[in-house]
Amino acid sequence: MDNKDIIETNKKYWNEHADLWFGTTALPEYGVYFPTEDDLHLFGDIRGKNMLEICCGSGHSLLYNAERGAGELWGIDLSQKQLNTAQALLKENGYSANLLCAKMEDELDVPKDYFDYVYSIYGIGWTTDLQGTLNKIASYLKKDGTFIFSWHHTLNYCIAWSCKDRRVVVDDNKLVMSKSYFDESYFKMPVHDSEIVLCNRKISTYINALAKAGFFVEQLIEASDDTALNSEGELDLKAQKAKMLPLSFCIKARKM
């Protein structure tokens, strides 16, 4: 599959299934069983700051920042369906944002050297051109501007519960390495009655691409939250996994 086909497949999925993800991966959450913005305080005081969200989805993170006094709000997403939802959500709550239907891989019609913050919650990993996307994000930020993003932790896709007859086996409480950490090739994943196409990039791939784009990495967070770490007894499978490895990671970087 070439990049164009990958993007079209993912766009189709999001336009047809956006409603199933209403507000599910949005601030203050960075990921499932992962510390939240209330724990991490990565953004700090955002009052009056210009903010751009990449892959803004249903608009819940934009709303979160609006309620904290952000200045201009901008959001981009591949899916017009998602943007319509975001616009309605913001309007319902008395806010508005500049929303653009675009691919993050493209040169966006947004001002350069303008934003105090660019951020993305479970969005950046969808890009088919990591280096190009990060270079562009750097160009939208002011000098010393902040870029924050979260995504699936690479190990989450590599490590699975033991599987017998295609059924997850948890009785022996064992996780197995089911995919190579070094494998960054694209794979199709069935979701609902459809499919998406993703790849699983190494953490070093993200860090090196950020450095090349002119970012200084201030924090890399690999963690699970207290709910997963401290709970005893019956836990769902994700929580059991989160006791042993981070399901997500989050990076805070500064444009130099």
**Interface with ligand SAM by CB under 6 A: which residues?**
7, 10, 14, 25-26, 55, 57-58, 60-61, 77-79, 82, 103-105, 121-123, 126-127
The total of other beta-carbon atoms located within 10 Å of residue 116's CB is 19
Distances (CA, A) of 14 to 20, 21, 30, 64, 102: 9, 9, 20, 22, 13
Contact yes or no for 32/247 (Cβ under 8 A)? yes
Least distance CB 139 / ligand SAM (angstroms): 16
Least distance CB 78 / ligand SAM (angstroms): 3
Output the CA torsion sign for 239, 85, 154, 175: positive
The burial class, CB within 10 Å (0-12 / 13-18 / 19+), for 193 is: exposed
Contact yes or no for 140/117 (Cβ under 8 A)? no
Least distance CB 25 / ligand SAM (angstroms): 4
Least distance CB 43 / ligand SAM (angstroms): 14
Q: Give 54 or 155: the residue with its C-beta nearer to ligand SAM.
A: 54
Q: Give 110 or 161: the residue with its C-beta nearer to ligand SAM.
A: 110
Q: Give 26 or 138: the residue with its C-beta nearer to ligand SAM.
A: 26
Q: Give 11 or 243: the residue with its C-beta nearer to ligand SAM.
A: 11
Q: Which residue is nearest to ligand SAM (CB)?
A: 57
Contact yes or no for 204/130 (Cβ under 8 A)? no
